[in-house]
A and B are shown apart, each in its own frame.
Chain A
Amino acid sequence: AQSVTQLDSQVPVFEEAPVELRCNYSSSVSVYLFWYVQYPNQGLQLLLKYLSGSTLVESINGFEAEFNKSQTSFHLRKPSVHISDTAEYFCAVTLSGGSNYKLTFGKGTLLTVNP
């Protein structure tokens, strides 16, 4: 079975500072990796995903994540954050080529951007 560890439960940063949210996974087979974002009192929205190909994936709002197979990591980064990026971020994994695509989530990282 696969598992996901998000190393920081809370990350406070100042506006326009860079940020990195860390995610490590454990799996004996190939996986797909995802970052979801949850704004207050809302459902989860897909931020970006790695399925195959280039190990660096980007979102439309400036986030990027790099799949590192040797370190089993999928850290999320943004060079300059905005107040509006304040949210909880979840890393998730599923087996590639699976028949049901069940997601296993990390416990989440609360990103708080302060002015």
Chain B
Amino acid sequence: NAGVTQTPKFRILKIGQSMTLQCTQDMNHNYMYWYRQDPGMGLKLIYYSVGAGITDKGEVPNGYNVSRSTTEDFPLRLELAAPSQTSVYFCASSGSGETQYFGPGTRLLVL
């Protein structure tokens, strides 16, 4: 039982490039979330999903897209990367909805 896994661990992007951050959970959780963490700012919700085929925007969705074709996977897509998207990205999942389990994070640098 690996929990929540994220790939890659670290990535450098050039401005205007695109990439997909991968998130997979093996706990059969319905709820999944993407957050970004910036120094001194806590975590901000980007997108979330309450089940396969259902996604919705969080607090800071601009510049990102998601899909949820399976229960296990919840990839986050960055189109046209900008320096403001330099951050650490965390994926989380929850079964009951009360406790969220976090992945180890992806550190992204946009230059």
Binding site for B on A (CB under 8 A): 4, 9, 32, 34, 36, 42-46, 49, 51, 90, 94, 98-108
Contact = CB atoms under 8 A, between A and B. Distances in A.
Contacts of B40: 9, 107-108
Task: Classify the secondary structure of B's interface with A.
Answer: strand
A100 B56 contact: yes
B63 interface: no
Contacts of A49: 98-99
Interface of B: 4, 31, 33, 35, 40-45, 48, 50, 56, 58, 90, 92, 94, 97-105
Contacts of A34: 99
A107 B38 CA distance: 9
24 contacts: A9-B40, A34-B99, A36-B102, A42-B104, A43-B102, A43-B105, A44-B43, A44-B92, A44-B102, A46-B99, A46-B100, A46-B101, A49-B98, A51-B98, A94-B98, A100-B48, A101-B100, A102-B33, A103-B100, A105-B43, A105-B44, A106-B42, A107-B40, A108-B40
